[in-house]
């Protein structure tokens, strides 16, 4: 599975750079589609040649790895369509347009409510039916036509997981755009979204905090991966009373490390494991 995780890491890194370098949403979507299609092509090639060690490894691939790439293709294609057709008239017209798209996306969740609830609960009892190849039953899953056209790279519900993830990201994006129109008169939101002052101070290296921020951003843990890295950095600067400076340049340096480019994350894991051990004593 190492090769799949490596492709996923490189893919996330490429999208992080794209989000930082391009502000125009339509252009960003076009480039995002190209990057995602390339990653899917690579991961499909390896998946078709790869012999999974057991059922659980195959389930993990189709439940957790492939959807994290495929969801971005759905996201960028939909985003391109939404922004290309977005009216350039009054704020009221734009809000109505964006609200209508949110309603369309939420219809999908309602139409797939049973599986949506299963996935949201992190349930596993039906994983073998949902995420192993060759288990598709048209009587149970009438809408999973992709399974029949690409049996070696599809299960009955990996596409559904990707769609849920993509629609989550789109709804967050659309709500943020509506919020701008309603509260900021179409102007960009302030760079710093965290307005409170704290007595918390970051006492580790500045580089460590930047590594943590990028890890959170690339993992999709904040706003399902759609959070603006600039706003995340600004929030942490305010929270921990620190100036991160040119954090993108620092990120490039971290990524270029020859020995260990996840040094702080590894340290966090070791510290937490030690905490577990100490608590058991």
Asked whether residue 96 falls in the same domain as residue 218, the answer is: no
Can you give the residue range of the structural domain that contains 241?
206-280
**What is the tens place of the pLDDT at every residue in 154-201?**
898 999 999 999 999 999 999 989 988 887 544 444 444 445 567 788
Answer yes or no: is 171 within a domain.
yes
Number of domains the chain is built from: 2
Asked whether residue 249 falls in the same domain as residue 113, the answer is: no
Answer yes or no: is 197 within a domain.
no
Answer yes or no: is 169 within a domain.
yes
The answer to whether residue 142 scores a pLDDT higher than 50 is: no
Nearest to 61 by CA among 3, 137, 146, 117: 3
Asked whether residue 61 falls in the same domain as residue 176, the answer is: yes
CA distance 232 to 91: 27
Q: Which tokens go with 76?
A: 């960028």
Asked whether residue 81 falls in the same domain as residue 132, the answer is: yes
Asked whether residue 160 falls in the same domain as residue 229, the answer is: no
CA distance 19 to 189: 17
SS3 158: helix
Asked whether residue 147 falls in the same domain as residue 21, the answer is: yes
Asked whether residue 169 falls in the same domain as residue 235, the answer is: no
Lowest mean pLDDT, pick from 39-43, 47-51, 91-95, 101-105: 47-51
Determine the distance from the C-alpha atom of residue 274 to the mean position of all C-alpha atoms in its chain, rounded to a whole number: 30
Answer yes or no: is 85 within a domain.
yes
258: confidence class by pLDDT, cuts 50, 70, 90: confident
Answer yes or no: is 194 within a domain.
no
Answer yes or no: is 79 within a domain.
yes
Asked whether residue 118 falls in the same domain as residue 249, the answer is: no
CA distance 248 to 254: 10
Instruction: Mark out the alpha helices in 61-145 (DSSP H runs).
Output: 66-84, 91-111, 113-120, 127-131
Asked whether residue 166 falls in the same domain as residue 85, the answer is: yes
220: left (phi > 0), else alpha (psi -120 to 50), else beta? left
Residue 130, classified by CB atoms within 10 Å of its CB into exposed (0-12), middle (13-18) or buried (19+), is: buried
Determine the distance from the C-alpha atom of residue 259 to the mean position of all C-alpha atoms in its chain, rounded to a whole number: 27
Asked whether residue 40 falls in the same domain as residue 162, the answer is: yes
**What is the tens place of the pLDDT at every residue in 201-257?**
888 899 999 999 999 988 888 887 778 888 898 899 889 888 888 888 888 888 877
Are the CB atoms for 18 and 35 separated by under 8 Å?
A: yes
Q: Which tokens go with 135?
A: 């288990």
Answer yes or no: is 238 within a domain.
yes
Answer yes or no: is 201 within a domain.
no
Are the CB atoms for 264 and 257 separated by under 8 Å?
A: no
SS3 260: coil
Asked whether residue 163 falls in the same domain as residue 42, the answer is: yes
Are the CB atoms for 166 and 226 separated by under 8 Å?
A: no
Asked whether residue 132 falls in the same domain as residue 19, the answer is: yes
């Amino acid at each position: 599975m190492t090769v799949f995780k490596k492709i996923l890491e490189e893919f996330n890194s490429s999208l992080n750079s794209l989000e930082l370098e391009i502000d125009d949403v339509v252009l960003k979507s076009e480039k995002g589609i190209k990057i995602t299609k390339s990653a899917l092509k690579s991961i499909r090639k390896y998946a078709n040649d790869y012999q999974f060690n057991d059922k659980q490894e195959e389930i993990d691939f189709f439940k957790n790895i492939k959807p994290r790439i495929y969801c971005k293709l759905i996201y960028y294609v939909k985003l391109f369509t939404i922004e290309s057709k977005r009216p350039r008239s009054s704020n009221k017209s734009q809000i109505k347009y964006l609200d209508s798209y949110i309603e369309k996306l939420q219809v999908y969740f309602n139409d797939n409510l049973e599986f949506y609830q299963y996935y949201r609960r992190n349930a596993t009892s039906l994983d073998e039916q949902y995420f192993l190849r060759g288990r598709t039953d048209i009587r149970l899953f009438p809408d999973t036509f992709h399974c029949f056209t690409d049996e070696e790279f599809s299960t009955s519900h990996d596409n559904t997981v990707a769609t849920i993830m993509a629609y989550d990201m789109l709804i967050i994006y659309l709500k943020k755009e509506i919020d701008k129109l309603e509260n900021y008169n179409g102007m960009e939101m302030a760079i710093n979204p965290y307005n409170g002052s704290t007595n918390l101070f970051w006492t580790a290296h500045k580089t460590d905090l930047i590594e943590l921020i990028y890890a959170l951003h690339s993992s999709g843990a904040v706003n399902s991966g759609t959070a603006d890295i600039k706003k995340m950095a600004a929030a942490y600067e305010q929270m921990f009373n620190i100036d991160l400076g040119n954090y993108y340049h620092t990120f490039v340096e971290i990524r270029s490390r020859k020995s260990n480019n996840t040094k702080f994350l590894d340290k966090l894991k070791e510290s937490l494991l030690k905490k577990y051990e100490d608590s058991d004593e």
